[in-house]
Structure 1
Amino acid sequence: KYSGEGLLKNFFGLSVAQQMPSIGLKEREEGDLGPVYGFQWRHFGARYTNMHEDYSGQGFDQLLDVINKIKHNPDDRRIILSAWNPSDLKLMALPPCHMFAQFYVANGELSCQMYQRSADMGLGVPFNIASYALLTCMIAHVCDLVPGDFIHVIGDAHVYRNHVKPLQEQLQNLPKPFPILKINPKKKDIDSFAAADFKLIGYEPHQKIEMKMAV
């Protein structure tokens, strides 16, 4: 549900009302995950109330700060996006799994290194790779750079029991060529993107493999 603005929204598949009563969030509206990823990216330090509140102008906008540094001080070694805010952890349905992203500019390329404390290898990691690769491409696009490398650092990598057989099946599939991502060249504002601004060319997935979310 809510985790940011525009395309920076994720569907987590978590229901606070159904899955998280043990952490004291029983009264929170279903779908309200608290001040998770996107809130920290765009409003770090703001006081969180609920998912319907307008937080415009509140807190620190890390995403715009990252873009500003890339454009005006690309050699900065502090181009960092953090979803980990210890003071807000108690308000979150689930503490951030993918926590920090550091961006690096060299030779006209933008690279991203992301640290993930906890990694569900079956369902979470493929989405994390795709989403941070897309984010890197989007930021590179608005900063007139070429996407470079995405480096994924994992703390605790785990496979749930009900994912073992599906993943064994998946490992039998031979990798296919990567598709090509095309972004609308007219869009240069990170908040202006819509789904129609992105085209994925040559995406040929293997047959769907069912995996249920472990909760």
Structure 2
Amino acid sequence: MRDTTPHYEQQYLDLMRHIWRHGDERIDRTGVGTRSILGATMRFSLADDAVPLLTTKRVYWKVAAREMLWFLSGDTNIRELVRQGVHIWTDWPLDAYRRATGETIDRDAFEARIIEDEAFARQWGDLGPVYGAQWVNWPRYEAAGDGLYRRAAQGHNQIADLVAAIRATPGSRRLLFTGWNVAEVANMALPPCHMTYQFQVSNGKLNGLLFQRSCDLGLGFAFNIFGLSMITRMLAQQCDLEPGEVVWQGGDVHLYLNHAALVEEQMERIPSGAPRLRINRRPSDIFSYAIEDFEVINYAPQAHISAPVAV
């Protein structure tokens, strides 16, 4: 009998079509303009190593995986990403450098200086207290006497505490971490878009949910859903659970007006295939994974569709 179950990616394409046709057209922070809705949900199974990679265009999943491992390291400087050939965070410090100095340096030359000059990287490559800083080093304060408090040398490691909580209290409704630190948002190059992750243990399986306050559906979502799937799989492995499903929830979900070519082409494509994500090693802890531990098989996407990033 012919399987009539919709492909997992169809819900993404349906959401894209709805926003493009019915979204509220508005001027956004970048000045580019978007079509936007408030509130959307998608669900994807992780059973049998399934991973919701988009198949209607190529997603460079290793870039997304390297970014997730960088978050977990607590690093907030682009230097290590650039060394690995990951450019997705360069535009923000590059823009800040150009505005501060008036120099019309291109991205390649800027990244070369970041790699070659440690002092330059410290000054111009840091993004402020973005994701990794909040995930593994959320600021703590200690009494310093005379009613004063000082910032502790080591902050709160939300990820380590999450692993311990999943193991010790799997029925808890507090299995989560967040990057939205109100006190530090103003110092971040970009406030967290994928801001809060929550997890649930059910029948020996770990389910993961991401609330994303702002989602660039045309470009960013493909990385966001892969990252959610990846960290859910990693946590499940570390906690002796099977991966269940991932739930993605978007707040302001939008398509940029200058992505018209991407959107129109992608909406015409038909999704197919069932890629699988495998983790080939179980490290001693959640922070010891390497890019070589991850493998995607059976991924045969259609051609990449390029589009500009709005900074």
Same fold (TM over 0.5): yes
Corresponding residue for residue 107 of structure 1: 203
Alpha-carbon shift at residue 19 of structure 1 (Å): 4.4
| Secondary structure in structure 2 of the residue aligned to 1:15 | helix
SS in structure 1 of the partner of residue 184 of structure 2: helix
Deviation at 1:3, TM superposition (A): 3.6
Matched, 1:15 2:92: yes
How do 1:1-215 and structure 2 match up within 5 A? 3-5=71-73, 11-19=88-96, 29-45=123-139, 58-215=154-311
Partner Cα distance (1:58, 1:6) in 2: 12
User: Once the two structures are aligned, what percentage of the paired residues are identical?
Assistant: 39
Match of 1:52 in 2: none
Distance change in 2, residues 1:142/1:105 (3 Å): same
Q: Which amino acid aligns with 1:36?
A: V
Residue 148 (structure 1) shift: 1.0
**Partner Cα distance (2:250, 2:261) in 1:** 22
Q: CA RMSD in A?
A: 2.8
Contact 1:6 1:192 in 2 (8 A): no
- Which runs of 5 or more structure 2 residues have no equivalent in the other structure? 1-66, 100-119, 142-151
Are the equivalent residues in 1 in contact too, given 2:212–2:251 (CA < 8 A)? yes
Please tell me whether the aligned partners of residues 16 and 32 of structure 1 are also in contact (alpha carbons under 8 angstroms). Answer: yes
Compute the displacement of 1:57 (Å): 6.5
Q: Distance in 2 between matches of 1:14 and 1:21?
A: 10
Give me the TM-score of the superposition, normalised by structure 2: 0.60
Hey, what's the Cα distance between the residues in 2 that align with 1:165 and 1:146?
A: 40
In structure 2, distance between residues paired with 1:7 and 1:195: 16
Structure number with the higher helix fraction is: 2
Q: Report the counterpart of residue 46 of structure 2 in structure 1.
A: none
Cα pair distance change 1:110/1:171, threshold 3 Å: same
TM-score by length of 1: 0.85
Match of 2:135, as an amino acid? W
**Alpha-carbon contact 1:6-1:194 (below 8 Å) kept:** no
Q: State the alpha-carbon separation in 2 of the partners of residues 77 and 172 from structure 1.
A: 41
How far the C-alpha of 1:208 sits from its partner, in A, is: 0.9
Distance apart, 1:36 and its partner CA: 0.6
Change (3 A) 1:57 1:204: farther
CA contact (8 A) 1:99 1:117 kept: yes
Q: How far does residue 46 in structure 1 lie from its aligned partner after superposition?
A: 5.2
The aligned counterpart of 1:53 is none
**Counterpart of 2:124 in structure 1: which amino acid?**
E
Aligned partner of residue 95 in structure 2, secondary structure: helix
Residue 103 to residue 164, structure 1, CA distance change in 2 (3 Å): same
Which structure is higher in RCO with an 8 Å CA cutoff and minimum separation 6? 2
Query: Are 1:120 and 1:158, in contact at CA under 8 Å, matched by a contact in 2?
Result: yes
> Which letter does structure 1 place at the counterpart of 2:219?
L
Instruction: Answer whether contact 2:75 2:133 (CA < 8 A) is retained.
Output: no
Checking the alignment, whether the CA contact within 8 Å between 1:14 and 1:31 is kept in structure 2 is no
Give 2:128's aligned amino acid. Answer: G
Distance, in Å, in 2 between the alignment partners of 1:161 and 1:34 is 29
- Give the whole-Å Cα distance in 2 for the aligned partners of 1:7 and 1:193: 15
Alignment length (residue pairs): 204
Say whether the 8 Å CA contact 1:100–1:115 is kept in structure 2: yes
Aligned with 1:119: secondary structure? strand
